[in-house]
Amino acid sequence: MYAVVIGGGKVGLSLTRELVAKGHEVTLVESRRSRYLNIEHELQHSVQYGDGTELWVLERAGIQRADLVIAVTGDDEDNMLVCQVARDKYRCDHIIARVNNPRNYSHFKLLGIQPVVSATDLILRLIEHEVPRYGLVHLLALEEEGLEIIELEVSAESPAAGKALSEITMPDGSLFISVLRHGSGFVPKSDSVIEAGDRVLLVLEPGLEETIIAYLAPETAHAPA
């Protein structure tokens, strides 16, 4: 596989190292002279100096034959632009963009740039997972497929608490995957009883979050996230 990585910061450099170690051909593009000179020592011909948002720089890096373009600069506009031209001008099949400011996520989405990776987002998810008072945790969003997996603590106020799965009427488009209780998990069967304090994993169609919260953790329904 041939990958072009734009942005030689910690993320770009580490990615390049890993990809090279896995036997892939990689070109990293870095626009800051001092940083380029430092990296060049290590990566030699796998790094090029230049502004990766300039078309001739991308072409010099061989973007026309790239299987994958990864834009990981510290500037969201630059990352969006690189991915847009990689996809629309150079017909690159796979692009990955880094989102620096989570507020810009909607702009990436608007321009159809995905998948995107946001460090803030990843850490937030970890925090949500570690701090139960956050209520509903988004574990995975399969946007193309229109599904998501969430985690939620069942409260004593929920009508589902203390009932067997077969007695619980879940909204259409949602399903229990597993139950985490006292530190271990199991896949519930129809006669498994859901208890208050259980952390449950659910797969849902997007848009059902509010309904699910109102049903399984009603007292947190209007609490700020």
Partner 1 sequence: MFVLIVGVGRVGAAVAKNALSTGHEVSVMDEDPLSHERLDAGQATSWEDAGGHFTVGTALELDALREAGIERADLFIASTDGDNTNLIIAQIAQKQFGVQKVIARVMDPARAAWYREQGLHTISPAQEAIGMFIDAVQAHAGVV
Question: Which residues lie near partner 1 (CB under 8 A)?
Answer: 53-56, 75-78, 80-81, 85, 88-89, 101, 103-104, 106-107, 110-111
CA 143 to chain centre: 11
Nearest distance in Å: CB 30, partner 1: 16
Nearest distance in Å: CB 82, partner 1: 9
Residue 217 gets which letter from DSSP?
S
Q: Annotate 58-91 with three-state secondary structure.
A: HHHCCHHHCCEEEECCCCHHHHHHHHHHHHHCCC
Q: Which CB, 65 or 109, lies closer to partner 1?
A: 109
DSSP β-bridge partners for residue 204: 148, 174
Q: Which CB, 76 or 151, lies closer to partner 1?
A: 76
Q: Which CB, 56 or 133, lies closer to partner 1?
A: 56
CB contact at 8 A, 64 and 90? yes
- As to burial, measured by CB atoms within 10 angstroms (0-12 exposed, 13-18 middle, 19+ buried), residue 35 is middle
Nearest distance in Å: CB 83, partner 1: 11
CA 31 to chain centre: 26
Q: Which CB, 49 or 105, lies closer to partner 1?
A: 105
Cα dihedral across residues 135, 137, 143, 148: positive or negative = negative
d(CA 196, CA 210) in angstroms, rounded, equals: 19
Nearest distance in Å: CB 70, partner 1: 17
129: left (phi over 0), alpha (psi -120 to 50) or beta: alpha
Nearest distance in Å: CB 78, partner 1: 5
d(CA 70, CA 55) in angstroms, rounded, equals: 15
Nearest distance in Å: CB 111, partner 1: 6
Nearest distance in Å: CB 77, partner 1: 4
Q: Which CB, 50 or 185, lies closer to partner 1?
A: 50
Q: Which CB, 75 or 209, lies closer to partner 1?
A: 75
Q: Which CB, 108 or 134, lies closer to partner 1?
A: 108
